[in-house]
């Protein structure tokens, strides 16, 4: 479905500034035998000139994306540590003994596992059946369904109001955005807190993280649209923190108006920073689109030069975002022979669209390419650390973003 109005403020003043072509959904890593039957959808970005929300034009139906899912947050050590610390903070600051913590998009239980043995009831919503099973096996109470105002009402009926509702890296994914926030407002206790983490549009723009643009991510948030969205349902943002996850994210804390926590000056500070870099102006994005095309030319020139020198290139990491980068740049198996990834669910599959094969990291013990294109660039330190052997034996990494560099 193609939108005709802004997903938050419903203005028809939406302007297209970026066209990345038609690509298959980024997480649809295909089995070789299914490669011929892939479906592609347009990947185009719009800015709403009224509320400043940057958003995709086309919505792929959620049932097609989120019932079977190949992303497991716990694959990353960085994320495991990050969510263990968040659980600790939630317990200390916001939840009394016996309080209810609800997570939306709880995935494999990466956050909620940390509540085992704590004095709180933790429940997650996770629509992907294969992922929910992993969480349940780890002892995390999981509702295998989409969170919306009706599933929220059912949980409220059963368990009472929540002390904390957490939604990390899922606000961008939900087509029924307003119904989601309505559900939060319904389920949240009057002094409860909502904690939302999302990739910050300011980082996406400033660090050229355009590969985060794919069909699962319908919205690319900055502060003002988030404040508007909560405001529509009687809630307000009272605090915000910058976090390094996924190349630069924000953690936003919201409450019902009247809950009484003072509004931190950090909130306005982030808005001011966003305005200073032009995040609410169309011309910023028009320039951004040109810069992405420039990055493409630069990376392709580098890869082709290395190839012409007889070097062998593979890839490291097959996150969803590699689908956007490889497809938009037109990088196939002729330039990058294969990609290694630790996630078992992706191994022996192909990158959607460009069909580069994905294998396990043990491949690097029997085969030593000269270069590894680091597609999971957000985990640069973790991966380069793990691959010390590869570098000791003369192997090099190419980090594509924000500007191609070799380490």
Contact residues toward ligand SAH (CB under 6 A) are 62, 66, 69, 71, 73, 79, 104-105, 107, 110, 125-128, 131, 146-147, 168-170, 173-174
Instruction: Name the residue nearer to ligand SAH (CB basis): 125 or 205.
Output: 125
Asked, as a colleague might, if the bond just before 402 is cis with ω within 30 of 0, I would say: yes
90 binds, among Zn ion, ligand SAH, none (CB under 5 to 8 A by kind): none
Minimal distance in Å, beta carbon 134 to Zn ion?
Answer: 37
Minimal distance in Å, beta carbon 51 to ligand SAH?
Answer: 22
57 binds, among ligand SAH, Zn ion, none (CB under 5 to 8 A by kind): none
135 binds, among Zn ion, ligand SAH, none (CB under 5 to 8 A by kind): none
What tokens were used for 149?
């105002």
Residue nearest to ligand SAH (CB): 105
Mapped onto helix, strand or coil, the DSSP state of residue 251 is strand
**CA dihedral sign of residues 308, 314, 316, 322:** positive
Stretch that binds Zn ion, among 44-52, 64-72, 126-134, 388-396 (CB under 5 A): 44-52
| 22 sits in which H/E element | strand 14-23
107 binds, among ligand SAH, Zn ion, none (CB under 5 to 8 A by kind): ligand SAH
Q: How far, in Å, CA of 189 to CA of 29, rounded?
A: 40
Minimal distance in Å, beta carbon 12 to Zn ion?
Answer: 10
In this structure, are residues 98 and 121 in contact, taking their beta carbons and an 8 Å threshold?
yes
Q: How far, in Å, CA of 51 to CA of 226, rounded?
A: 10
What tokens were used for 248?
């630069």
Instruction: Name the residue nearer to ligand SAH (CB basis): 295 or 318.
Output: 318
Instruction: Name the residue nearer to ligand SAH (CB basis): 314 or 321.
Output: 321
102 binds, among Zn ion, ligand SAH, none (CB under 5 to 8 A by kind): none
Partner residues linked to 31 by β-bridges: none
Q: How far, in Å, CA of 100 to CA of 120, rounded?
A: 6
User: Does 50 interact with Zn ion (rule: CB under 5 A)?
Assistant: yes
Minimal distance in Å, beta carbon 168 to ligand SAH?
Answer: 4
Instruction: Name the residue nearer to ligand SAH (CB basis): 224 or 246.
Output: 246
Instruction: Name the residue nearer to ligand SAH (CB basis): 11 or 150.
Output: 150
331 binds, among Zn ion, ligand SAH, none (CB under 5 to 8 A by kind): none
In this structure, are residues 56 and 47 in contact, taking their beta carbons and an 8 Å threshold?
no
In this structure, are residues 338 and 371 in contact, taking their beta carbons and an 8 Å threshold?
no
Minimal distance in Å, beta carbon 214 to ligand SAH?
Answer: 12
Instruction: Name the residue nearer to Zn ion (CB basis): 6 or 162.
Output: 6
Q: What are the b/e assignments for 119-139, b being 16+ CB within 10 Å?
A: ebbbbbbbbbeebbebbbeee
328 binds, among Zn ion, ligand SAH, none (CB under 5 to 8 A by kind): none
Find, among 325, 304, 324, the residue nearest to 313 by Cα. Answer: 304
In this structure, are residues 9 and 51 in contact, taking their beta carbons and an 8 Å threshold?
yes
Instruction: Name the residue nearer to ligand SAH (CB basis): 174 or 254.
Output: 174
Given 3, 9, 186, 232, the residue binding Zn ion (CB under 5 A): 9
| Other CB atoms within 10 A of residue 406 CB | 10
Instruction: Name the residue nearer to Zn ion (CB basis): 9 or 35.
Output: 9
Instruction: Name the residue nearer to ligand SAH (CB basis): 91 or 359.
Output: 91
Tracing tokens 């034009």 back to the chain, one arrives at 57
51 binds, among ligand SAH, Zn ion, none (CB under 5 to 8 A by kind): Zn ion
Instruction: Provide the total of helices (H) and of strands (E) in the chain, helices listed first.
Output: 13, 17
**CA dihedral sign of residues 275, 3, 15, 42:** positive
Minimal distance in Å, beta carbon 372 to Zn ion?
Answer: 41
Segment 51 to 80, residues that bind Zn ion, using CB under 5 A: 51, 53
Sheet strands (E) in 228-268: 235-243, 249-256
User: Does 134 interact with Zn ion (rule: CB under 5 A)?
Assistant: no
Stretch that binds Zn ion, among 4-12, 103-111, 123-131, 358-366 (CB under 5 A): 4-12
In this structure, are residues 232 and 257 in contact, taking their beta carbons and an 8 Å threshold?
no
Minimal distance in Å, beta carbon 59 to Zn ion?
Answer: 16
What tokens were used for 221?
């948030």
48 binds, among Zn ion, ligand SAH, none (CB under 5 to 8 A by kind): Zn ion
Q: How far, in Å, CA of 40 to CA of 57, rounded?
A: 14
Site residues (vs Zn ion, CB under 5 A) = 6, 9, 11, 48, 50-51, 53
């Amino acid at each position: 479905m193609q939108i005709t109005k802004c997903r938050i403020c419903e203005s028809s003043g939406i302007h297209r500034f970026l066209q990345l072509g038609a690509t298959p959904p980024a997480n649809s890593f295909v089995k070789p035998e299914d490669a011929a039957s892939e479906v592609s959808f347009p990947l185009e970005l719009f800015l709403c000139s009224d509320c400043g929300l940057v958003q995709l034009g086309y919505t792929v139906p959620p049932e097609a994306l989120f019932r079977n899912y190949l992303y497991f947050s716990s694959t990353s050590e960085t994320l495991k540590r990050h969510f263990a610390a968040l659980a600790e903070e939630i317990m200390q600051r916001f939840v009394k003994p016996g309080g209810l913590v609800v997570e939306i998009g709880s995935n494999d239980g990466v956050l909620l596992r940390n509540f085992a043995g704590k004095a709180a009831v933790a429940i997650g919503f996770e629509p992907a059946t294969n992922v929910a099973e992993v969480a349940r096996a780890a002892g995390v109470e999981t509702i295998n369904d989409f969170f919306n105002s009706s599933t929220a009402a059912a949980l409220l009926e059963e368990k009472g109001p929540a002390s904390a509702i957490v939604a990390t890296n899922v606000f961008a994914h939900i087509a029924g955005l307003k119904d989601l926030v309505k559900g939060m407002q319904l389920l949240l206790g009057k002094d409860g807190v909502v904690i939302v983490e999302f990739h910050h549009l300011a980082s996406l723009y400033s660090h050229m993280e355009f590969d985060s643009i794919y069909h699962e991510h319908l919205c690319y948030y900055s502060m003002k649209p988030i404040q508007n969205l909560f405001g529509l349902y009687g809630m307000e943002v009272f605090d915000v923190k910058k976090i390094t996850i996924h190349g630069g994210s924000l953690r936003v804390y919201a409450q019902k108006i009247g809950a009484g926590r003072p509004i931190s000056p950090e909130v306005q500070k982030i808005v001011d920073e966003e305005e200073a870099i032009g995040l609410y102006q169309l011309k910023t994005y028009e320039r951004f689109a040109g810069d992405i095309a420039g990055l493409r030319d630069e990376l392709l020139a580098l890869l082709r030069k290395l190839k012409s020198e007889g070097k062998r290139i593979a890839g490291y990491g097959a996150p969803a975002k590699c689908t956007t980068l490889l497809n938009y740049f037109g990088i196939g198996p002729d330039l990058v022979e294969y990609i290694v990834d630790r996630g078992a669910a992706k191994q022996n599959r192909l990158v959607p669209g460009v069909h580069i094969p994905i294998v396990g990291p043990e491949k690097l013990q029997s085969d030593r390419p000269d270069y590894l294109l680091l597609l999971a660039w957000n985990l640069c330190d973790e991966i380069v650390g793990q691959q010390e052997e590869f570098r000791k034996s003369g192997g090099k990494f190419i980090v594509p973003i924000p500007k191609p560099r070799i380490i």
